[in-house]
Structure 1
Amino acid sequence: AMRERVQHAIRERHAESGLTAAAIAAQLGLSERSLHRCLAEGQQSFAGLLMDCRMAVARRLLSEPRFDRLGIAEIGRRVGLADASHFVRLCKRHLGATPGALRRTR
């Protein structure tokens, strides 16, 4: 149940640049250590969950034509990544292609 609460809080706040485990822990009334321990029991990490969430939202934004008016840098910002080149590298690593390529191949 606690892991689900953590995942829900991450989904709610994924767009915040610089989101930390400490911020989520404070929101949920946990110590940061308890949050990490809870996630580790499920073979998960805060950073991994946050990145998975951000990349899932990025994939959705890049795959839907209604978001075509948004530039790549803006989509990066909307998923909590302020640096556009970092966003492109993360897309290549986690989604297998650059944001532009993902947009073209939908």
Structure 2
Amino acid sequence: MTMTRLPGDPGPLRRVRYALGFRLPPENREWVRHDLTDAGWRGRMLRRHVVLMVPVCLVFMLLPGAWWFGAAAGLLALAASALTVVIGAEDLRRSRLHRHGLPEP
């Protein structure tokens, strides 16, 4: 499977900023429109969130105590945050579309 680059595809640093909720510059507007309105937008949103949460969850492994306690806390944080993203996906999408000056589909 090959990844095709869309016009206005942001670089890696801009993608991280976008994943953290920041607005991208106008030259990335077409990419943002594709990301938030084309098929598979929910999966992309959840995948982006999980990738950002993995380092946060690994920090839980550093908690003092039994190893399983840190692992359980990390998994609980990941599951709870992923569920929150799934439940609020429509609102998150609407907010990002508004932030980038795009109409709702």
Q: TM-score normalised to the size of structure 2?
A: 0.35
| TM-score normalised by structure 1 residue count | 0.35
